[in-house]
Chain A
Amino acid sequence: MHRRYRWLTGISAGTLVFLYGPIVVILIFSFNASKISAVWEGGTFYWYRQLAENHALWLATSNSLIIGGISTLVSLALGIGAAVYMERGRASSQPLLEGILLLPLVIPEVMLGVALLLFFVMIEWPLGLATVTIGHCVFNLPLVIMVLRARLRKIDPVWEDAARDLGATPWQAFVHITFPLLRPALLGAGLMAFTLSLDDFVVTFFTTGPGATTLPLKVFSMMRTGITPEINALSALLVTVSMLLIGLSLVFQRK
């Protein structure tokens, strides 16, 4: 048993190196003084300073934050109702509903992107911040509902029953019992949705319009004009932010 375990550990270590190697290379080379080559020529913060002075980038950041913030809040507000209804309501399993809640999460993103593009163009809704935000809600809402339902399944309904027995209205039982028990999951789901929104490229790519460039779209357009260490620096920042957000979300969900 033990020996077998050792070579499996070796393979696993290799897999982790594969997963992290490319990201680490990008991080290191974001401090590289050379503009053109992937050969180390001394350390510098120059590329990060360049990023800080790039106004279009700040605009893209603020767009990303707006879209992420709104789509997360909308998904949480709608998702909590749906999750409570589905886990605490008397409705038995509804395959159609389950399917609609699942499909946006499992179909390849391109399909969601082109379906939304088609829809917005045909109803003549101008593409922009609003259409991107709606697109993000479509994939964030099912995710939030999934996380909240999983949490509700672990919360014993007996607490809510007790509150009701003692004369609480359904609303009071929700506000004083269910909601506080659900709060860590709400925070966790919110951070997940926000991260997903900040990172999304495909759905954004198809639903965006003038003035609605997000960070990933900006990275994409920078990549098209040429590979510069600036992109490495921006990538490094994005990786760091995602890691922080996910770390936070895990901390909240564990509580």
Chain B
Amino acid sequence: MMNSSLARHPSFLLLPTLLLLGVFFCIPVLLMFGVSLASRGLYGGIEWTLNFENYLRLADPLYWNIYGRSLFLAGATTVVCLAVGFPLAYVMARSSPRMQNILLLLVMIPFWTNFLVRTYAWIFLLRTEGFFNSVLMHLRILDAPLDLLYTNGAVFIGLVYGYLPFMILPLYVAIERISPSFEEAALDLYASGLSVFWHVVIPLARPGIVAGCILVFIPSVGAFITPHLLGGGQSMMLGTLIQHEFLVVRDWPFGSAISFVLMLLVVVVGIPMFTRRKFWG
């Protein structure tokens, strides 16, 4: 690459990108950090006082159940996506090339379908006058509709539904690279199907498992649309808390502090993973 004819490309090629992301991404993020050190003015404005009060306030037990719910729902979503996604990713990776393409397309379509619409689908299914309740009452299984929407369960289903493709795609890439001869060798040596899966496929698919888990966990823990629409007021998560502080309470400094801590978490956990070239396949 060093010998390439374009090797001496001047950096003006990069300059516009740096400018755009510098002004409209780096500066806003730094500004957010600055605001997180200020305090809320009397009428919801920002008072420039340098203090760490907002960060101390994060420890207030008032917010613990929101942190707990966010971590628990994101964790459960990750585990279930892995459990549900792995078989499909495996079947995809071991299908004929033609079938692989078809299945890949089938997984890609939801991945690129409007997230809001996909969340709306669950409102339509779960609400009191919704599809499930109507069907169950029509079949006389239920006498009165169940409260399915605006529960933690609804948020959980919405998250799994929303982020499942994020798990399947990296798993598929990882499993596809494992030569089937490893599995055949294990079977020849009298390993059971389950132990081949456990001792051969899963360890070799680890890069994909780690990538998939991060790609599901990070957006789930900071999710906004799903808890906002399926959770209602009772099931607040970090993403909805940030929005609440910014647009409802208008406590921008505190909202910035939450947002900044969450971003640090993403950087510390995610960036070392994402920057490995292997990660993106």
Contacts and interface: CB of A to CB of B under 8 A. Distances in A.
Interface stretch (A51-59, A100-108, A180-188): A100-108
A82 B259 contact: no
Contacts of B280: 146, 150
B124 A227 contact: yes
Contacts of B20: 74, 78, 137-138, 141
A137 B224 contact: no
Interface in B99-135: 105-110, 112-118, 120-125, 127, 129-131, 133-135
Given A90-B8, A157-B1, A5 B91 contact: yes
A15 B114 contact: no
A157 B6 contact: yes
B183 A1 contact: yes
B110 A118 contact: no
B116 A116 contact: no
B169 to A, nearest CB: 13
Contacts of A4: 193, 197
A38 B132 CA distance: 9
A115 B31 contact: yes
Interface footprint category on A: 35 or more
A239 B243 contact: no
B9 A220 contact: no
A250 interface: yes
A67 interface: no
B181 interface: no
A193 to B, nearest CB: 12
A114 B32 contact: yes
Contact of B17 (A8, A11, A78, A114): A78
B274 interface: yes
A88 B7 contact: yes
B117 A238 contact: yes
B66 interface: no
A216 B115 CA distance: 9
B219 A16 contact: no
B6 A173 contact: yes
B187 interface: yes
B110 A20 contact: yes
B91 A12 contact: yes
A178 B6 contact: yes
B102 to A, nearest CB: 11
B138 A39 contact: yes
Nearest to A241: B114
Contacts of A65: none
Contacts of B274: 102, 106
Given A1-B187, A108-B223, A99 B275 contact: yes
Given A25-B124, A106-B270, 13 more contacts: A1-B187, A9-B91, A19-B110, A85-B14, A88-B6, A99-B267, A102-B275, A108-B239, A111-B263, A119-B27, A192-B112, A201-B115, A246-B109
Nearest first, the 8 A-B pairs at minimum CB distance are: A108-B222, A164-B5, A22-B121, A81-B13, A119-B28, A115-B28, A4-B193, A88-B6
